[in-house]
Every structure is written in C-alpha cells, then in structure tokens.
Chain A
Amino acid sequence: AQSVTQLGSHVSVSEGALVLLRCNYSSSVPPYLFWYVQYPNQGLQLLLKYTTGATLVKGINGFEAEFKKSETSFHLTKPSAHMSDAAEYFCAVSKRGSNYKLTFGKGTLLTVNP
C-alpha cells in the first residue's frame, strides 16, 4: 500500500524567504507524485506533478519540486514567498500507470508573514 508523509503540519515563513515543504512517500515502485494547493474555502488545485522524465518539475506560481528516488522524497520549494502563497499544500501519490486513487498526505499549512 502507498502512503505519504508530510513533515510539518504548519510552516511559517517571512515574505521573500525560501519556502520548503517536505513530502516523503512509501511505495513498492516509484509512483506518480503530485502537489496540490487549497486556498481557504476552495477545492484543491494542481500545482505540479511528476510522472516521468526530468526529475525537477516546475509548476504554477513559481513552485518546483524534485523527485529523488533514493530518498523517496518529492519536496516542494519556492525561492521567494509571497503573501498570496498562504494556503494548505497537499502531497499526493498514485499508482504508476493509473489515473485514479490519489493518496494524500495530511497537508501542510503555509503561513507567510509580512
């Protein structure tokens, strides 16, 4: 069975600082990996995904993530935080070759301080 661990339920950064949200997965084979963002009172929106190819993937709003198979990690980063980045971020995995059954982490709430 697949599982996702997001280290830190709450991360607080200053505006302009580096954002680093951690995600580790457990899977018998490398899965497909996703980061979703949820703004208050809204549904989830895809930030970026890794399925195949280049292990450093770029997403919307300046975010990027790197798939590291040896570390079973898919950490999300952004060089400079903006106030509008304040939201909850979810890492998710799905079985390779499938288009279904996302397993989500518990989420990390990002706060950006002025």
Chain B
Amino acid sequence: DAGVIQSPRHEVTEMGQEVTLRCKPISGHDYLFWYRQTMMRGLELLIYFNNNVPIDDSGMPEDRFSAKMPNASFSTLKIQPSEPRDSAVYFCASSLTSGSYEQFFGPGTRLTVL
C-alpha cells in the first residue's frame, strides 16, 4: 500500500489567497483526520471524518477553514482567505475501525503564507 498521500508537499502563498490541501487515505480506512503542527501549539486535531461524514470539527480554528470528504478516497482542507498565522505543517491521517487503533500519517504539507 502507498500509505496516506498528501499534496502538495510544500505550498507558499500570499496572504488573502485561497489554499487547498489534499489527502488520499489508505484504501479501506474509514476514519480520516486533519492535524496542524506548529512550534507554538504542537499537534492539534482540526477535524475528523468517519465514513466520509464529519464527526467533530471543534478544532477548526475559524470559518476561514473548511474540510470536505466527497468520497472514501479523497479529502480536502481549504483555507480562504489565508493569513500568515496559518503557516504550519498540515497532516492527514487515516485509520480503520476494526484495526489496532493506530492512525497512519501522511508526510504532511508545509504551508507558508507570506
């Protein structure tokens, strides 16, 4: 299996622009998680889905952030408009309900907002 795939790996954009991060979970996994990692706040769970349905989005910082999962093999995290404080590494992870409680992480997208 290819593991969790994220794109792009790096994104540099200017303040005010829309940013879309993409994630392909491991085939057959039914949970998908979006995390943000910064030096100041560490790893934060933003939102997670079960069977493509958002379960808990309480970690989404504000309305500028939105996430979708149109099917079992694809999810997006969108920031509109982006701000410099959104600069971080964004990770996607997936897991299987009947599995070992392990979350499998993608390589992350490093976002820089100028």
Residues facing A in B72-114 (CB within 8 A) are: 91, 93, 95-97, 99-108
B55 at the binding interface (Cβ < 8 Å): yes
What mask results when residues 41 to 75 of chain A are scored 1 for a CB within 8 Å of chain B, else 0?
11111100101000000000000000000000000
Beta-carbon nearest neighbor of A102 in chain B: B103
Q: Establish whether residues B43 and A90, one from each chain, have CB atoms under 8 Å apart when the complex forms.
A: yes
Could you tell me the distance between the alpha carbons of A105 and B44 in the complex, rounded to whole angstroms? 10
B14 at the binding interface (Cβ < 8 Å): no
Could you tell me the distance between the alpha carbons of A103 and B108 in the complex, rounded to whole angstroms? 18
Residues facing B in A29-48 (CB within 8 A) are: 32, 34, 36, 41-46
With A44-B91, A44-B105, A100-B55 already in contact, 13 other A-B pairs whose C-beta atoms are closer than 8 Å? A43-B93, A43-B108, A44-B43, A49-B102, A90-B43, A94-B101, A99-B31, A99-B95, A99-B99, A101-B56, A102-B45, A102-B103, A104-B43
Residues of A near B48 (CB, < 8 A) are 100-101
A to B CB contacts below 8 Å, 23 in the list: A34-B102, A36-B105, A42-B107, A43-B91, A43-B93, A43-B105, A43-B106, A43-B108, A44-B93, A44-B105, A45-B105, A46-B104, A94-B101, A99-B95, A99-B99, A100-B31, A100-B55, A100-B95, A101-B48, A101-B56, A102-B33, A102-B103, A104-B42
Interface residues of A (CB under 8 A from B): 32, 34, 36, 41-46, 49, 51, 90, 94, 99-107
Interface residues of B (CB under 8 A from A): 4, 31, 33, 42-43, 45, 48, 50, 55-56, 91, 93, 95-97, 99-108
